[in-house]
């Protein structure tokens, strides 16, 4: 029997190239604000946003020549930290098709990859859905 | 029937094309037809709130909509002391979070 999805208050469907603008930063700011207020949040990463949770990204970004001793966490590390801090309130899903299409096949263990045909189930498991970005 | 409550989140700046102005014009039309409209300018969209960079902001305010800019987006662009269009206020994405979850509010992120 298939395991049912956890109910959340809000599903954020995150699309688009993660580093093209402020979308990812603003989305993560929003997720953190929602979590701080006790809101249960699920994120469905689609398109290039599926690249955010690859384990190959490691803990830190490559060194910044302008600030050699500063460590900047990778998106995978940030998301992993948020998931660990809010295990009952934050869930992260990835579109398997979009991920496979981009050769990203090794994600954080906490990230659940799902086929696009199951997206409607994620929508049904959330009180509200907000689409962010364009694929 | 109560007029609908709408939260429009614009993230594109006026220099990225006509999408920003068109989106805000849609908000002004909704407000003019009785919807309760709030607009959050986020990311590059905050540049549209300076002076009269996007005339549709004046249309929004005239139609009764509330228009606010995200404070972190303003600060990150070195615009902390920029003179905003009259009627535009500063807020935060954090303060807007509760409204985004509110089931009575229709939210569009552009």
Contact of B53 with chain A, judged by CB distance below 8 Å, is answered with no
Nearest to B93 among A9, A29, A39 (CB): A29
- ipTM for the whole complex: 0.89
CB atoms within 10 A of CB A17: 15
Nearest to B43 among A22, A39, A131 (CB): A22
pTM: 0.91
Rounded CA separation A99/B97 (Å): 29
Q: Give me the architecture of the A10-62+70-132 domain, per CATH.
A: 3-Layer(aba) Sandwich (3.40)
The residues spanned by each domain of chain A are 10-62+70-132
Cβ–Cβ of B101/A23 closer than 8 Å? no
Residue B15 sits at the chain A interface (C-beta within 8 Å): no
Do the strands B36-41 and B66-70 form a parallel or antiparallel pair, or are they unpaired? parallel
The candidate with the shortest Cα–Cα distance to A130, out of A17, A73, B49, A122, is A122
pLDDT tens sequence across A43-97: 999 999 999 999 999 999 999 999 999 999 999 999 999 999 999 999 999 999 9
pLDDT digits (tens, 9 = 90+) for B84-106: 999 999 999 888 999 999 999 99
| A128 near B CB under 8 A | yes
Q: Which two tokens stand for residue B83?
A: 């003179």
Smallest CA-to-CA distance from B70 within B102, B38, B32 is with B38
Q: Which CATH number fits domain B5-109: 3.40.1260.10, 1.10.357.10, 3.40.309.10, 3.40.50.720?
A: 3.40.1260.10
Q: Is pLDDT of A1 > 70?
A: no
* Predicted pLDDT of residue B1: 44
């Amino acid at each position: 029997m298939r395991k049912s999805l956890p109910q959340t208050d809000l599903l954020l469907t995150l699309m688009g190239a993660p580093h093209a603008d402020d979308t990812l930063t603003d989305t993560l700011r929003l997720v953190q604000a929602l979590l701080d207020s006790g809101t249960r949040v699920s994120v469905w990463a689609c398109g290039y946003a599926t690249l955010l949770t690859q384990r190959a990204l490691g803990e830190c970004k490559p060194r910044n020549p302008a600030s050699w001793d500063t460590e900047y966490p990778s998106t995978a590390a940030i998301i992993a930290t948020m998931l660990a801090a809010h295990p009952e309130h934050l869930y992260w899903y990835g579109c398997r098709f979009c991920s496979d299409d981009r050769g990203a096949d090794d994600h954080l263990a906490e990230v659940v990859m799902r086929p696009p045909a199951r997206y409607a189930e994620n929508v049904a498991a959330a009180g509200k859905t907000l689409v962010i970005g364009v694929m | 029937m109560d007029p609908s409550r709408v939260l429009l989140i614009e993230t594109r700046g006026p220099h990225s094309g006509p999408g920003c102005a068109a989106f805000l014009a849609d908000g002004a039309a909704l407000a003019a037809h009785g919807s309760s409209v709030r607009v959050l300018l986020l990311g590059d969209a905050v540049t549209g709130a300076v002076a009269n960079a996007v005339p549709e902001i004046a249309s929004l305010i005239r139609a009764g909509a509330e228009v606010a800019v995200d404070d972190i987006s303003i600060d990150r662009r070195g615009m902390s002391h920029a003179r905003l269009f009259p009627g535009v206020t500063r807020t935060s994405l954090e303060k807007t979070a509760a409204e985004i979850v509110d089931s009575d509010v229709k939210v569009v992120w552009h």
